[in-house]
Structure 1
């Protein structure tokens, strides 16, 4: 089965029709030998601890990475810039 990921930032939930999600879960589960994915990818995927959701409306072979329903919308570019501006030290005179 070919699996296609459809990503919507920020990813907080992974949804797929049952057979596709079961295949993805099998790919990501710990094994003595990792035949399908690199160890780095598997470590990253397991560390995310995303909720996995069955969704019958998604076509077989597609996995939707989407925000959890009811989650706050992602920050706008201006909000991110303001946040980073607060974190960045001000330039020192003569520097």
Structure 2
């Protein structure tokens, strides 16, 4: 009986910990948006395109396929010298030549 109770308690505690760990990520995404072309080299949040794996792997400043989380509604107001519009984009873009 004790062993079963301990196993059940451990399983419950583990599942609760996983659920709480996922909650902050969901909260971040709710109030943030992915903004491409605004991250500095090695400062992207994730998925910086071919040749990169995740956060901190962008190779150069303002890379068009690297994104950073910014406050919702501010991406297209954030400066990006490589963007065709001069501002961050909500999707990947081909960088303009300087």
TM-score range, shorter chain: under 0.3
Give the TM-score normalised by the residue count of structure 1. 0.19
Give the TM-score normalised by the residue count of structure 2. 0.19
